[in-house]
Structure 1
Amino acid sequence: MKKIFLLIALVLCGASTYAQQKRKLVWSDEFSYKGQPDPQKWDYEDGFVRNNEPQYYTTKRLENCRVENGTLVIEARKEEFPNARYKSGSTNWAEKEQFAHYTSASLITKGKADWKYGRMEVRAKVATGAGAWPAIWMLGANRGAVKWPDCGEIDIMEYLGRDPSKVYGTVHYADSLGKYQHQGESPIVGAPADGFHIYALEWYPDRFEFYYDNLKYFVFDISKAQQKEGNIFQKNFYLLLNLALGHEGSWAGPFNDNLLPLKYYVDYVRVYQ
């Protein structure tokens, strides 16, 4: 099926064709196998990671992340799971709970693959429902050596279940004064959760172009992120695929337990340069 889809993409006009004609495929995962994601290509985030989100990211656990029927499946579940970072008496949100009540997965290429410039293309079907928060995004490969937002962040796609007709593409960075800035667009595209769609970033030396299928909906001028020591968007970034859950007061909003489990499907990931 994927071979047929690729042949069709090669003969149709549009953004995907541009990638095929102008660049070479340098990295991909077609998920044409079964079981855990390829460990040569993917690693995991683990634990409670960011934004006070209620889901606990597990590692190498098929219930939350697996490849089946030629597709990557990331699944958010309602279940009790031990918190490996639990510290009795801690007030840190990521450490104070002995058990998580929700699990999910976040795949990353950090330490395995990162890129500067090119086309990052993912064909995916998003999870939907109030509080669902699937994403395709990138962080600077120097994340850890420098803090966010100095490392930069490129949100190729975020989808909020509470806003089912839109997708979000956003760039986060620190400006020349070191102040946090962000810029993005959220076009109304119909019903992304109804099927598979192509989410892509075209990364040029001077700009980012964001695509939903063949719709170019946002262009970002990279010079806006210029600092004295350089521009973070002239450095390598790694890729993340995750399914988060919102909560009361969060951007994604609260979720409904009755919707769980939620499943986020990825048909392929391709990088062209």
Structure 2
Amino acid sequence: MKKTIQFFCILMLTAGFISCSSDGGDGPNPGNGVAKVPIPSTGYTSPNSYTGMTLVWEDDFNGSVLDAANWSHETGTGQNGWGNNELQYYRSQNTSFQDGHLIITAKEEDFGSRKYTSSRIVSMNKKQFRYGRIDVRAVMPRGQGLWPAVWMLGSNFQTEGWPACGEIDIMEMVGGQGRENTVHGTVHWSNNGSHAEFSGKKTKSNGTLADEFHVYSIEWDATSIKWFLDNQQYHVIDTTPAELDEFRRSFFFIMNVAVGGNWPGSPNATTTFPQHMIVDYVRVFQKQ
């Protein structure tokens, strides 16, 4: 995610501290008995195929639980709020499924010394990819202090750390203050040992990213990464310089909804809970 990376979970476990874990021990939530979440019926849908490319992996979230072959939960508060002074406690119970959609719910509730809960899922050590077209169809939450993200970290993250592993933010949105109409696409890397980043954004002329489904995409190869909103390119980076070699390696996925933090700021009296990020599918296409 933008600004300071959320990579402290693994580092703390390696150091012998316990503040977060994969699948956390608090159990999956299939959504049974949970009130229905309103799911928009409108919005952009991406193609099922692209010329010269093959669909190599997808998760369309048609089950009732998180597919353990694809994803794990990361739980807890991380260190220093996952490196961003975030306010939520990540729990697997905040992940549910409805009508073929993954739903990550941010709630205002007391748990683990925090006032908010949410979920964070990762494909680390399960699904990783090097290059391709990635499409994620989703509806964003809304409200001051909400910070949804779909992003990637280099698969060598456990050994190299951040930012040397590289980070690709497919989409981020910060809620409140008129910001919910803007998607951000960013990369982070190590430039001779120092953190570097390059970011672009796209602001909708009408409505917000919470009103209906949009498709957030990247096209990534050995020379560049391009960002798209509903198949309209809005950002690109040339990755041919040697210091950007991080982006010629494999990456895994992360999806989460943070509450508060350095970038969005804290919720306030205008923020209503619960809030939901609704994901229809994640697809990866690669050249034939």
Tell me the TM-score normalised to structure 2 length: 0.77
C-alpha distance after superposition, 1:94-146 (max 9, x if no partner)? xxxxx222110011100101000001110000001111110110000111211
Question: What is the aligned counterpart of 1:185 among 188, 194, 200?
Answer: 200
SS of the residue aligned with 1:233? helix
- List per-residue Cα deviations over 1:240-270 (Å, max 9, x = no partner): 11000114xx211221365111111000111
Match for 1:56 among 89, 99, 109?
89
Q: Is the aligned partner of 1:102 residue 2:116?
A: yes
Superposition map of 1:251-270 within 5 A:
251-256=263-268, 258-270=271-283
Is residue 41 of structure 1 aligned with residue 70 of structure 2? yes
Query: Match for 1:223: what amino acid?
Result: T
* TM value normalised by structure 1: 0.81
For the Cα contact (< 8 Å) 1:149–1:173, is it kept in 2?
A: yes
Q: 2:185 aligns with which of 169, 174, 196?
A: 169
Alignment of 1:120-139 (within 5 A): 120-139=134-153
Question: Which residue pairs with 1:233 in the alignment?
Answer: 247
- The secondary structure found in structure 2 opposite 1:144 is helix
Contact 2:87-2:259 at 8 Å conserved across structures: yes
- The whole-number CA distance in structure 1 between the counterparts of 2:49 and 2:273 is 37
Take 1:18 and 1:261, find their aligned partners in 2: how far apart are those partners?
32
Aligned match for 2:60, one of 26, 30, 38: 30
Cα distance 1:261–1:17, how it changes in 2: closer, same or farther (>3 A)?
closer
Partner of 1:95: none
Residue 208 of structure 2 is aligned to residue 201 of structure 1: no
Q: How many residues align?
A: 235
Q: Measure how far apart 1:21 and its partner are.
A: 2.3
Q: What residue identity is the alignment partner of 2:259?
A: L
Check conservation: 1:19, 1:119, Cα contact below 8 A: no
Two-structure CA RMSD over aligned residues (Å): 1.9
- Alignment gaps of 5+ in structure 1: 10-15, 83-98
| Structure 1 residue 69, shift from structure 2 partner | 1.2
Secondary structure of the 1:111 match is: coil
AA of the residue aligned to 1:256: N
1:78 counterpart = 2:92: no
List alignment gaps of at least 5 residues for structure 2: 1-41
Name the amino acid aligned to 1:81: F
